[in-house]
A and B are shown apart, each in its own frame.
Chain A
Amino acid sequence: MGIQEQYISEAAGLLSSGAVKLVIGYSEGSTTDRRRPVFVRTPAEAERLMLDGACVANLSTYLLSEGLLSDGKSVAVFLKPDGIRSINILAAEAQLNPEQLVIFGFDIQNGQARPLQGRKISDFTPIVEAARAAGLSPELQGEAERLEHISAAERFEYWKEQFSKCIKCYACRQVCPMCYCRRCIVDVNQPQWVNTSSHTLGNFEWNIVRAFHLAGRCVACGGCDRSCPVNIPLRLINHRMAKEVLDAFDYYAGESTDQKPVLATFRPDDPETFIL
């Protein structure tokens, strides 16, 4: 039995026993290479579930849908290691109770979905440890370094061009499990810290602020980057932040359900070579 069949049958079982009220997974999309998120509530519907190498979206975002978990009932969700780290952060930031989750963990290797052992968040500690040990993506690092090797002025021009494309649709924010604020900073208008207009200045401010808010929280699931309808390489800026907190504070986002936020904690001997 392949992973898809195995997970479908298990999901159906959980639904029919009432162990979970909902399974959030993937189903067929509007084209052959697309998978779309699906909400399965009955055992019969479980047949719609799919799991293969095209299932890339981080579904943890949906767990924060208003009221979804407030009845205390359990929900099953399909998650890759990045999504599992998201759950750790969301639990650490008190946005959900991980005890309510049944996690169908999987990883994609060579284009194939492979099962991950365990169903509870605590079962995946070794997976997260392994992810940390494997380090940040060398691919992203390579791309980021290419940018870092050019002059600041050239880099500014690069981002100016990229951010000028932004239309402030906020797909990056909406798809991100970390962007759960009830009122985004950009919607604060007293005072209006971030210019809401999508001129390049406003776009610069928006993208910088979002990257800052994701520092130490982004798990590099790539959701924002994939969602961006105007193809801004958001992955790079988020990667740069992840690298900064790792290098400066030895901090890797989403390690556990009780990890403290990197920017709400400190060590007296934190590096400060840049401070005069």
Chain B
Amino acid sequence: MAKIGVFVCHCGENIASMVDTANLVAEISEHPGVEICTEYKYFCSEPGQETVKRAIREHNLTGVVVAACSPRMHEQTFRKACAEAGLNPYMLELANIREQCSWVHTEKDEATEKAIEITRSLIEKVKRNNALFPISVPVTRRAMVIGGGIAGIQAALDIANAGREVVLVEREPSIGGHMSQISETFPTLDCSQCILTPRMVETVQHPNITVMTYSEVEEVDGYIGNFTVKVRRKARYVRMETCTGCGDCIQKCPVKKIPSEFECGLGNRSAIYTPFAQAVPNVPVIDRSRCLYFKNGKCAICKKTCQIDSIDFDQQDTIETIEVGAIVVATGFQVQNTSLYGEYGYGRYKDVITGLHFERLASASGPTAGKIRRPSDGKEPETVVFIQCAGSRDVSKGVRYCSKICCMYTAKHAMLYSHKVHDGDTKIFYMDIRAAGKGYDEFTRRAIEEDHAGYVRGRVSKIFEENGKLIVRGVDMLLGRPVEVAADMVVLATAMVPQPDAKDFAKIIGIGYDEYGFFNEAHLKLRPVETATAGIYLAGACQSPKDIPDSVSQASAAAAKILGLFSREHLEREPVIATVSDSTCAGCWGCVTACPYNAIDHRDINDRNGNLIKRVASVNPGLCQGCGTCVSFCRSNSIDLAGFTEKQIFAEVMAL
């Protein structure tokens, strides 16, 4: 016989003010199978949990219903309490009478009635719960980090330094990511390359790290502890094993006028190239679409030039299959295409550039060797206008969110400019200055006070060219009047947006993404590093706009999570998985087709002499994620989902 304990939580006043808990307790006490029903101010508190535990022991309870908050909040808390009192943790249900009742209703009698019905329904469910036991699966203690920017590099190094193997996959020819494009970093004005390059070298030389550049993840199968990843190693046409990185081929390549992606088009590269001088690995790739040899079969100067015969035009893409136990997704961001702001003239006027362009102009290794020269004519600009939120926080044309880094880098740009062009004049159009962070507000103050950055609160409505100047027309909200600035160059603080293929990639790897395409964390506050897919973690700006210190912190956090996972050879998984009834399965394999995880296979049932009696479906407990799609497909009800069985749900509905 069921002996159910029901614990009605007041949640302070959160529940008790809208639900008549005394009435609830009285009603529930009369429900068949309820052994004890009590109420308390905070069942999630230590004494509250003690009450639950004592009741379990004293009344030999077979099931527990806590009528309180959402199971998404405290299911784990009370499962643990049950386990500590000797009751299987899965013999627990939470009746959500807070988020879905007391907080959303305004009539006490209605809310009370609803709370009673919710609780009854879950009592009937819990009566049919089964004791479940965690599933143990082996862990491949090797991690994959996808994306070789600063976040990926940090995660890879942390994991590798703790003694675990890491495979770092980067789709560009070199690791380094956006950070390698940046000139100096706020708030310290360290040279970005100077602090990044040693990390890049350390990564590629680390005995525990395998770096796969110019490679892309094509397929991810498996589950936490046991992923199988197919990685396409794109043909470089240069042999990694032998190339010394001398650069002779790059020098001799006749196709030189290709706008460099790394330089944001401000400089050129050749058809055989490394994206930048400090590239790691320092092995060039041939851009097949531009190479004369691939175009018409002639040229091959690089091959003739190479003294160690490292050019291989016959190279093919190869697919490598890699087994890993955990994955860090650190695929980074893109800057928004600002040409959508027609009024700013980006794309029309050469001297309207993005912040990233400015980084290249300011970078000592950039196309101007660090001198601020405007793109149109190479002259030093005397007046530079910076426009913040050129895309961010703009519901109508841009994105709704704040890109977080623009206030800081714009201040930095103004500072760098004033350092390089001493009599230059800056105007910064801004909405707010968001400078929360260690040393950040001090940094912006310094820009204003020491480097005379000219902050103008207001929006720019139009930019047009007049007599070789860019006329920036806007409004100064503080003064309440229109302003017009004749600028030589305009720098747009563009929005950080997800990689254009982020959603496709999310589907490949099986994680969620938000309305913009940033990847979803399992819980924004409490599980910001995990994804909803166990074993896959996030680092850096692929999750949301981040600066370097935030990206690095998250990368280390992801590494810590993975090292925790790798601390044991086996891990325990939630036992919410499907099971097949062998006697009734007709072997139509509809469930096999429907399963999103390929977790269902065929199994032969033989008699004692080994003769085949029948073939039935069989669920791989390691692969099953417990969605239950198979259960609803099965016409004969021959497959069921632990924790959400047909019996449980039937009982829940029939109690409503």
| A interface residues, Cβ below 8 angstroms from B | 93-95, 180-185, 188, 190-193, 213, 260-261, 263-265
B512 at the interface (CB under 8 A from A): no
Closest chain B residue to A95 by CB distance?
Answer: B588
- In the complex, which of the residues B583, B586, B591, B615 contacts A181, with contact meaning CB atoms closer than 8 Å? B586
**Does the CB pair B637–A188 fall under 8 Å?**
yes
**Does the CB pair B593–A260 fall under 8 Å?**
yes
B636 at the interface (CB under 8 A from A): yes
**Does the CB pair A93–B588 fall under 8 Å?**
yes
**Does the CB pair B647–A191 fall under 8 Å?**
yes
Collect the chain A residues with CB atoms within 8 Å of residue B637's CB.
Answer: 183, 185, 188, 193
Task: Please classify the interface of chain A as helix (H, G, I), strand (E, B), loop, or mixed, using the class held by over half of its residues.
Answer: loop
Closest chain B residue to A90 by CB distance?
Answer: B588
Closest chain B residue to A212 by CB distance?
Answer: B635
**Which residues B601-654 have CB closer than 8 A to chain A?**
615, 633, 635-638, 646-647, 650-651
**Does the CB pair A263–B633 fall under 8 Å?**
yes
Q: A264-B594, A264-B633, A265-B593 are in contact. List 18 more A-B contacts (CB 8 A).
A: A93-B590, A95-B586, A182-B583, A182-B584, A185-B635, A185-B636, A188-B637, A188-B646, A190-B646, A191-B647, A191-B650, A191-B651, A213-B635, A261-B590, A261-B593, A263-B590, A263-B594, A264-B593
B494-511 to A contact mask, C-beta < 8 Å, 1/0: 000000000000000000
Collect the chain A residues with CB atoms within 8 Å of residue B585's CB.
Answer: 182
**Does the CB pair A193–B646 fall under 8 Å?**
yes
Collect the chain A residues with CB atoms within 8 Å of residue B651's CB.
Answer: 191
Minimum C-beta distance from A29 to chain B (A): 31
Collect the chain B residues with CB atoms within 8 Å of residue A94's CB.
Answer: 587-589, 615
**Does the CB pair B636–A188 fall under 8 Å?**
yes
Q: How far is the CA of A190 from the CA of B590 in the complex (A)?
A: 22
22 contacts between A and B (CB under 8 A): A93-B589, A95-B587, A95-B588, A180-B586, A182-B585, A183-B584, A183-B636, A183-B638, A184-B636, A185-B637, A190-B646, A190-B647, A191-B647, A193-B650, A213-B635, A260-B593, A261-B593, A261-B633, A263-B594, A264-B591, A264-B633, A265-B594
B573-592 to A contact mask, C-beta < 8 Å, 1/0: 00000000001111111110
Closest chain B residue to A214 by CB distance?
Answer: B635
Collect the chain A residues with CB atoms within 8 Å of residue B587's CB.
Answer: 94-95
Q: How far is the CA of A265 from the CA of B594 in the complex (A)?
A: 6
Q: How far is the CA of A180 from the CA of B584 in the complex (A)?
A: 11
B549-584 to A contact mask, C-beta < 8 Å, 1/0: 000000000000000000000000000000000011
Collect the chain B residues with CB atoms within 8 Å of residue A183's CB.
Answer: 583-584, 636-638
**Does the CB pair B586–A182 fall under 8 Å?**
yes
| B interface residues, Cβ below 8 angstroms from A | 583-591, 593-594, 615, 633, 635-638, 646-647, 650-651
Minimum C-beta distance from A135 to chain B (A): 27
Collect the chain A residues with CB atoms within 8 Å of residue B594's CB.
Answer: 261, 263-265
Closest chain B residue to A181 by CB distance?
Answer: B636
**Does the CB pair B646–A191 fall under 8 Å?**
yes
Closest chain B residue to A209 by CB distance?
Answer: B635
Collect the chain A residues with CB atoms within 8 Å of residue B615's CB.
Answer: 94
Q: How far is the CA of A134 from the CA of B74 in the complex (A)?
A: 59
Closest chain A residue to B645 by CB distance?
Answer: A191
Q: How far is the CA of A17 from the CA of B647 in the complex (A)?
A: 54
Q: How far is the CA of A190 from the CA of B637 in the complex (A)?
A: 10
Q: How far is the CA of A234 from the CA of B638 in the complex (A)?
A: 26
Collect the chain B residues with CB atoms within 8 Å of residue A184's CB.
Answer: 636
Collect the chain B residues with CB atoms within 8 Å of residue A264's CB.
Answer: 590-591, 593-594, 633
Minimum C-beta distance from A43 to chain B (A): 31
Minimum C-beta distance from A273 to chain B (A): 21
Collect the chain A residues with CB atoms within 8 Å of residue B647's CB.
Answer: 190-191
Collect the chain A residues with CB atoms within 8 Å of residue B586's CB.
Answer: 95, 180-182
The winner among B586, B615, B635, B650 for most chain A CB atoms within 10 A is: B635
Closest chain A residue to B585 by CB distance?
Answer: A182
Q: How far is the CA of A154 from the CA of B204 in the complex (A)?
A: 75
Q: How far is the CA of A213 from the CA of B590 in the complex (A)?
A: 12
Collect the chain A residues with CB atoms within 8 Å of residue B646's CB.
Answer: 188, 190-191, 193
Closest chain A residue to B654 by CB distance?
Answer: A191
Collect the chain A residues with CB atoms within 8 Å of residue B633's CB.
Answer: 261, 263-264
Q: How far is the CA of A180 from the CA of B636 in the complex (A)?
A: 10
Closest chain B residue to A263 by CB distance?
Answer: B633
Closest chain A residue to B649 by CB distance?
Answer: A191
**Does the CB pair A181–B589 fall under 8 Å?**
no
Minimum C-beta distance from A124 to chain B (A): 22
Collect the chain B residues with CB atoms within 8 Å of residue A190's CB.
Answer: 646-647
Minimum C-beta distance from A88 to chain B (A): 14
Q: How far is the CA of A94 from the CA of B583 in the complex (A)?
A: 17
Closest 3 CB pairs of A and B: A191-B650, A264-B594, A181-B636
Minimum C-beta distance from B598 to chain A (A): 13
Q: How far is the CA of A95 from the CA of B587 in the complex (A)?
A: 7
The winner among B583, B585, B590 for most chain A CB atoms within 10 A is: B590
Closest chain A residue to B592 by CB distance?
Answer: A264
Closest chain B residue to A183 by CB distance?
Answer: B584
Q: How far is the CA of A190 from the CA of B638 in the complex (A)?
A: 11
Minimum C-beta distance from B633 to chain A (A): 6
Q: How far is the CA of A235 from the CA of B585 in the complex (A)?
A: 28
Closest chain A residue to B584 by CB distance?
Answer: A183
Minimum C-beta distance from B303 to chain A (A): 45
